[in-house]
Amino acid sequence: MNKLNIHEVIGIGIGPFNLGMAALLEEQNIDALFFDESPSFNWHPGMLIEGSDLQVPFLADLVTFADPTSRFSFLNYLHTQKRLFSFYFFNRFDIPRREYNNYAQWVAGQLSNCHFGKSVIDIIDRPDDRPPCYEVVIEDRETKKQQHFHTKNVVVGTGTKPMVPKDLEKHLGDGVFHSSQYQYVVDELEESDSILIAGSGQSAAEIFLDQLQNQRSKPFLHWLTRSSGFFQLEAGKLGQEVFSPDYIDYFHELPFEKRKNELPNLSQLRNGVEESTLHQIYDLLYHRSVHPQELSVHIQANTEVVDIEKIDKQYKVYCFQRQQDKSFDLTVDKVVLATGYKPHIPDWFEKFRELIEWEDTNRFAVTRDYQLVFKKHRSHQIYTLSNLEHSHGPGATNLALSVLRNITIINRIVGHELYPEQQGGVFQQFGLKKDEEAK
């Protein structure tokens, strides 16, 4: 019988998290394969709005926190594109989101371990093989041909998928869209007479701003949110220290109930709107209001979209003002639901349900170094980069921390400190140190 070719790592999904992992592994000549079902790398393409920025400094590129000398750094990208001088005059840390996408595509294009147009449709556990491994089943999106690969370690990087309230899901399509589709439908939106945007996070604000900037006499814009207001993302520097390895250490040690209860308290760090976006919106509203007839907007908080009904070519949107306990409806041409994202957990994950530990029915236990916790000790591991908020805190989807996470995982896989693990660098202490605890 042929001996199996067992790879060191197979990564599922190539978003920025696994792309950074692929770049670091390739630089170290570690045998790895990465698969993504999309035809090519494209970072949240529906939200690549001109003028929108990455919400973290460019230093949070795919590799710099692991190795600032890497050829895959953002600065090297700029250098090779002959953009370094204009970036120097640009003199800012926050780069255009569209440029981050170009940079990541440039990295992906140089990696021989990344394969696009390939869905991972199954993972088969092979604990009794010598050595134990996983069999990863891939389907080519075009030819539907299946291939089987074997690996010692799986790294799940399947990211997130759009979240839409259950009652509204059935209306998606036609004139009702999730914000993730925005760039694909923007021409359609521009032709309409009225648009309703629901949500008060960064995506909703960017879409409202983009529409407002292009609005002449139409479309009329309704911007509603269920939240108590259109609030700013907390950006104070001490507060930002929550996005640090030290905080992850602290958070991960807390009991599940404490972690779960703490996440809503920290939501201002993740769920508001960037100060600059809110400024732009307000300034534009103010300028338009010089001629009130040019200001065709309705902005309202505490208001939930509860249902939608299609009437001819329009949509009747049923709304509820939560504090006044009053219902009303609006008739619009298009609806954009900027209602967020949820972890994307592949179906085959269910097969591991009985083998691993769970913190509650939907949230699996994860070790500090990102391994799923198997009830029975094993040498072949599944690492996850997705669905980590409950275990590793609000920085779970932060691009800078994803590089630090990749360092930890790579070091565990190779069994020594290939990349120095970054600790410290924050001014506050998140809990008592071991020697400070009362005896």
Ligand X SMILES: Cc1cc2nc3c(=O)[nH]c(=O)nc-3n(C[C@H](O)[C@H](O)[C@H](O)COP(=O)(O)OP(=O)(O)OC[C@H]3O[C@@H](n4cnc5c(N)ncnc54)[C@H](O)[C@@H]3O)c2cc1C
Task: State the residues that interact with ligand X by CB under 6 A.
Answer: 12-18, 35-38, 43-44, 47, 54-56, 119-120, 157-160, 203, 341, 344, 346, 385-386, 397-399
- Would you give the DSSP letter of residue 89? H
Q: Tell me the C-alpha distance between 393 and 264, whole Å.
A: 11
Least distance in angstroms from the C-beta of 145 to ligand X: 15
Strands 341-343 and 334-337: unpaired
The smaller minimum CB distance to ligand X, of residues 57 and 431, is found at: 57
Least distance in angstroms from the C-beta of 439 to ligand X: 41
The smaller minimum CB distance to ligand X, of residues 13 and 199, is found at: 13
The smaller minimum CB distance to ligand X, of residues 218 and 344, is found at: 344
Contact predicate 344/160, CB 8 Å: yes
The smaller minimum CB distance to ligand X, of residues 168 and 399, is found at: 399
b or e along 169-201 (b: 16 or more beta carbons within 10 Å of the residue's beta carbon)?
eebbeebbbbbbbbbeebeebeebebbbbbbbb
Question: What is the enclosing helix (H) or strand (E) of 220?
Answer: strand 220-224
Contact predicate 63/70, CB 8 Å: yes
Least distance in angstroms from the C-beta of 366 to ligand X: 14
Write the DSSP string, 159-213. -EEE---HHHHTT-BTTEEEGGGHHHHHHHHHTSSEEEEE--SHHHHHHHHHHHH
The smaller minimum CB distance to ligand X, of residues 221 and 399, is found at: 399
Least distance in angstroms from the C-beta of 435 to ligand X: 34
Least distance in angstroms from the C-beta of 3 to ligand X: 27
Contact predicate 217/296, CB 8 Å: yes
Least distance in angstroms from the C-beta of 254 to ligand X: 23
Total length of the chain: 439
Contact predicate 12/138, CB 8 Å: no
The smaller minimum CB distance to ligand X, of residues 114 and 195, is found at: 114
The smaller minimum CB distance to ligand X, of residues 47 and 317, is found at: 47
Least distance in angstroms from the C-beta of 139 to ligand X: 9
